[in-house]
Chain A
C-alpha cells in the first residue's frame, strides 16, 4: 500500500521568503512522486514530477523538489514566494499498475503569501 503525508494543512510565508512544503510518502515499490497545484475553483495542475534519474526536480513557476529515498521525502521548495503562489498544493505518490500510474494524493497544504 502507498500513502502520502503532508505536514501542515496551512502554511503562511511572507512575499519573497522561502517556501517549504513537506511531503513524506510510503510505498512498497519504487514510487513516482508528483506535486500538483490547485488554484481556487480550478483543476489540478502538475508542478513537477520525479520518475527516475536526477533526484532534484525542477518544475514550473520556480518550484523544485528533491527526492530523498533515505528520508522517504519529496519536499517542495521555492526560494522566493510570490503573491501568485497562493494556492493549495497536493503531493502525490504513484506506482505502475499495468500501463498506468495508480495515484494516491496527500491531504493538501494551503499556502498563504503575506504581502
Chain B
C-alpha cells in the first residue's frame, strides 16, 4: 500500500539554525500539507500546497517557514531560524485530486530545538 514517508524521524538543532524537513508524498497525489503537533497538544494545520504554490496557510506559518517541491517527488518544509517553540512533531500529508479524498499522513519528524 502506498504511504507517505518523512525524513529524518528525529532532528535536533540549535536555536537560530535552519532546518529542512523532508517528505515524499504518495506518487499520484496532487495536494500536499504540513501539520504541527506540539507535545501534548492537538494537530495544527500549517500549510497546503497545490500546483507548485501555497493554496492556504495558517497564522502559524509566518515568514520563518517556507515549502517547496524541488523535484516532483519531495515536498520540504524549511524553518529559517528555529526557535525553542518550534519544537514539535511535524507531519506531512498528501491527498488525491478528488475533494472527498482523505489526507494520508506520514509518520512525522520530531524536531527538537535546544
The 6 A-B pairs of least Cβ separation, nearest first, read: A43-B107, A44-B105, A100-B31, A105-B43, A96-B99, A107-B42
Is B99's CB under 8 angstroms from A46's CB?
no
Question: A42 to chain B: which residues have CB within 8 Å?
Answer: 107-108
In A42-67, the 8 Å CB interface with B consists of 42-46, 49, 51-52
Question: B62 to chain A: which residues have CB within 8 Å?
Answer: none
The one of A32, A51, A98, A104 in contact with B50, judged by C-beta atoms closer than 8 angstroms, is A98
Known contacts being A99-B31, A100-B95, is A106 close to B42, with CB within 8 Å? yes
Chain B interface category by residue count: 20 to 34
User: Using a CB–CB distance below 8 Å, which chain B residues touch chain A?
Assistant: 4, 30-31, 41-45, 48, 50, 55-56, 91, 95, 97-108
Q: Mark A86-110, 1 if CB is under 8 A from B, else 0.
A: 0000100000111111111111100
> What separation, in Å, do the CA atoms of A53 and B100 have in the docked complex?
12
